Structure 1
Amino acid sequence: MADTSFLEWPFFEDSHRELAAAARAWCAGEIGETGFAEHADVDADCRAMARKMGETGWLKNCVPAAYGGANETLDVRSLCIMRETLGYHSGLADFVFAMQGLGSGTLSLFGSDQQKAEWLPKVAAGEALAAFALTEPQAGSDVASLAMKAERDGGDYVLNGEKTYISNGGIAGFYTVFARTGEAGARGISAFLVPADTPGLSVAERIEVIAPHPLARLKFENCRIPASALIGEENAGFKYAMGTLDVFRSTVAAAALGFARRAMDEARARAKSRQLFGDTLADLPVVQSQLAEMAIDIDASALLIYRGAWMKDSGVARISREAAMSKFYATETAQQTIDKAVQIFGGLGVTKGSVPEALYRDIRALRIYEGASEVQKLIIARQLLSEGS
């Protein structure tokens, strides 16, 4: 069982502690020891998990209370607690929860009342899977360089271009799509709500990665949507994308923290039971050193994550620096923690079907998506350099 003493830190309220306890109990009963098993049909498993989370009420944390949510506004600490807990038990369960939040996040934060009323209750119920369509073949971390166009035509917009590495691509009920409506650079981007069955939107390719998730390359060919599909104001899409990531970037770090906690618990159990040279692995100073490093990195990650989440929930307008710090540190050190666990397990650690092997595959993408580690360092450095004179 993962250490939960961090919940006594002053970052949390009783409601967060209650949420964590309920989520742990649910995961133990509904996911159990099968969370890192192979998935024969990832699409079907994602749909089933979303429905199950919707029925249980976990997805209510992904939308505001006015549209079926658990809190008046998105509560970042609750989102982080859920992702950490789910990540500890199942990489795919964490993915499903994360995408319901991220995919609908721009809508929750900046959408019209009509847009929210139509889609957010379905997100909370697990009836409509959400997707965040930002990345393009030539525009990943450099969001301002995206090329997909949305041209005004009377009372409509016409979308043309491609998106790639889109999570929930092919199974989403709707996509939050970012496209260029104005000048080059950050100031000419807008956000749109595009239902999956819109004519002109197609799945050009399904993409397989080392930790199976629904991913796709999407093609928009004269994809016509009404002007009412515009989210917020025209040419404000870059600001909306960054505002959405400001909320959800900390949750990526929380998922990594859940993976790291699971890796440490697996490694500790293995070290205490595995016999070597007449003693257990746990008796070896080198293994003790590895376990100590895991514990230090996990606590440091948790402090960074929940500091940033608490700041956002306390009303701080932008936490780009704090979110970048937590995302960078937690994902990088989780990779190291999981690698140490694999080493402690030896051959079993790289055997397909073992928990360390699954964690090893699950963690790698977190150092890339929602801003690669190198981008997080740029964000931190630029804010540091802008301070003072």
Structure 2
Amino acid sequence: MDSSEKWFALGPAERAVQEEAASLTAAVADISAEADAMSEIHPGMREALRASGLAGLMVPAAYGGRAETVDPLTVCLVREVLMKGSSHLDSMFALQGIGSYAITVGGTDAQRAQWLPRVASLETLAGLALTEEHAGSDLKNVSTTVTEKNGELVVHGEKAFISNAGAADFFVTLVKEDLADGPGLSLVLVPADAPGVSTRPSPELIAPHVLGDVTFDGVVVPPEARLGAPGKAMSLVLSTLAVFRVSVAGAAVGLATGALEEAARHARTREQFGRPLLKHGPVAQLLADSWNDVEMARLLTYQAASFARQDARAALNRSSMAKVAATEAASRVVDRSVQVMGRWGLIANSPIERYYRQARPMRVYEGASEVLKLGIATTLCAELDQAPPAR
């Protein structure tokens, strides 16, 4: 069903890492349903991911990783395979990069040496603490603060709906700071075991996820805990999004592929009115429309990831397009797949029901579709303004 080899000419290295990811998902198939129902780290999944070495893709080779730099296309390809097998496994893999990338691009040599090898080996779990109760997409509205006192940094505030909260060993934390030229946003690396850090579970989601709220109650860290320059946090945040947003599209393609395969198998074997469902025109149309959606989403995702491989920041708009297209397509595909399977698609904790619940949050996190569309439309109009007039 996957035509990407013909259409995209992925090389031997890309194919090899896809096979590694497929071997991993096959090895944990018997615990996937159990893990996907958990809101805390599944130890068996963590050990399997650690043993696979795939987390090393999230860290440069100089600090224990597998390649010279973190490659958006490779990450995207791995997430596609992992999400098809287990959302828990995919999330654990993705968050190692999402939570640590600001250290990779903005940390000091000492910070990188301290944290990145442990991220690569999965000894340490990473966390990125951006959102708050009143600051989701509007990150400039964060209220968590950092102040300098007696030569140290003091962090106050609360973060909400933070992935890996309660499991992460550190939080790359977005804070507001009063600077000489006015308030600015900074990043501070806060160890999870620092005095004053506490976590509590967030409300349970429709698709279980390791998620929680984090409180920083006068947390004292040294000045060396800064990531990047004061007031320059958004540059590092955007760098993280530029590399990893397109990987959400990859995960969505994997989810849609898994759902479609479930529906296609059912349509081939389930008989109604004396013939397989596949021979009924409306069912065939649902399957055909879904395959079209999967392949279009895959092509746009691979294209965006390839652009991001060359220049992630310059390709951010294409990554946003891929994220919107793939997550919206996944929702359509899963909905049609449930329809094809009828009552069999409604059984709690079946593969298709899990896909159905997992698809919906993907249109919200790491940039809700409507928010991303605003940026996409703005970029479109700006490019038209710069284009020479038509003759």
For normalisation by structure 2, the TM-score amounts to 0.94
One-letter code of the match for 1:267?
A
**How many angstroms does 1:39 deviate by?**
5.5
**How many angstroms does 1:354 deviate by?**
0.8
What's 1:346 paired with? 342
Picking from 23, 29, 50, the partner of 1:32 is 29
One-letter code of the match for 1:261?
T
What's 2:369 paired with? 373
Picking from 79, 93, 104, the partner of 2:75 is 79
Cα shift readout 1:270-329 (whole Å, capped 9, x = no counterpart): 000111111111001111111111111111111111111111212354212101100001
Picking from 217, 220, 224, the partner of 2:213 is 217
Picking from 265, 276, 286, the partner of 1:269 is 265
Picking from 277, 280, 288, the partner of 1:281 is 277
What's 1:328 paired with? 324
**How many angstroms does 1:38 deviate by?**
6.1
Q: Name which of structure 1's ranges 370-379 and 346-355 shifts more when overlaid on structure 2.
A: 346-355
Q: 1: CA distance between counterparts of 2:363 and 2:159?
A: 20
Q: 2: CA distance between counterparts of 1:163 and 1:307?
A: 34
Q: 1:80 to 1:213 in 2, by over 3 A?
A: same
Q: 1: CA distance between counterparts of 2:136 and 2:41?
A: 28
Cα shift readout 1:171-220 (whole Å, capped 9, x = no counterpart): 11111100011379997111111110011111144431111111111111
- Number of corresponding residues: 385
Picking from 62, 68, 72, the partner of 1:66 is 62
Secondary structure of 1:175's partner? strand
One-letter code of the match for 1:349?
G
Q: 2: CA distance between counterparts of 1:87 and 1:260?
A: 9
Secondary structure of 1:371's partner? coil
Q: 1:84 to 1:316 in 2, by over 3 A?
A: closer
Secondary structure of 2:40's partner? helix
Task: Verify: 1:43 aligned to 2:17, yes or no.
Answer: no
Q: Quick check: 1:85–1:258 contact (8 Å CA) kept in 2? A: yes
Cα shift readout 1:46-84 (whole Å, capped 9, x = no counterpart): x44233212221101111111111110110111001100
Q: Structure 2: state its 5+ residue gaps.
A: 386-391
- What's the RMSD between the two structures over aligned residues? 1.9
Q: Quick check: 2:173–2:188 contact (8 Å CA) kept in 1? A: yes
Q: 1:304 to 1:38 in 2, by over 3 A?
A: same
Q: 1: CA distance between counterparts of 2:79 and 2:36?
A: 20
Picking from 267, 290, 293, the partner of 1:294 is 290
Task: Verify: 1:6 aligned to 2:4, yes or no.
Answer: yes
One-letter code of the match for 2:32?
G
Q: 1:278 to 1:254 in 2, by over 3 A?
A: same
For normalisation by structure 1, the TM-score amounts to 0.94
Task: Verify: 1:20 aligned to 2:14, yes or no.
Answer: no
What's 1:128 paired with? 124
Q: 2: CA distance between counterparts of 1:351 and 1:297?
A: 25
Q: Quick check: 1:144–1:185 contact (8 Å CA) kept in 2? A: no
Q: 1:388 to 1:278 in 2, by over 3 A?
A: closer
Q: Quick check: 1:144–1:186 contact (8 Å CA) kept in 2? A: no
Q: 1: CA distance between counterparts of 2:261 and 2:182?
A: 44
**How many angstroms does 1:44 deviate by?**
4.2
Q: 1:310 to 1:187 in 2, by over 3 A?
A: farther
Secondary structure of 1:157's partner? strand
Q: Structure 1: state its 5+ residue gaps.
A: none
**How many angstroms does 1:165 deviate by?**
0.4
Task: Verify: 1:251 aligned to 2:250, yes or no.
Answer: no
One-letter code of the match for 1:21?
E
Q: 1: CA distance between counterparts of 2:183 and 2:300?
A: 31
Identity over aligned residues, as a percent? Answer: 36
Q: 1:186 to 1:124 in 2, by over 3 A?
A: farther
Secondary structure of 1:71's partner? coil
Q: 1:133 to 1:361 in 2, by over 3 A?
A: same
**How many angstroms does 1:34 deviate by?**
4.5
**How many angstroms does 1:37 deviate by?**
4.3
Q: 1:259 to 1:186 in 2, by over 3 A?
A: farther
Picking from 107, 111, 114, the partner of 2:107 is 111
Q: Quick check: 1:301–1:326 contact (8 Å CA) kept in 2? A: yes
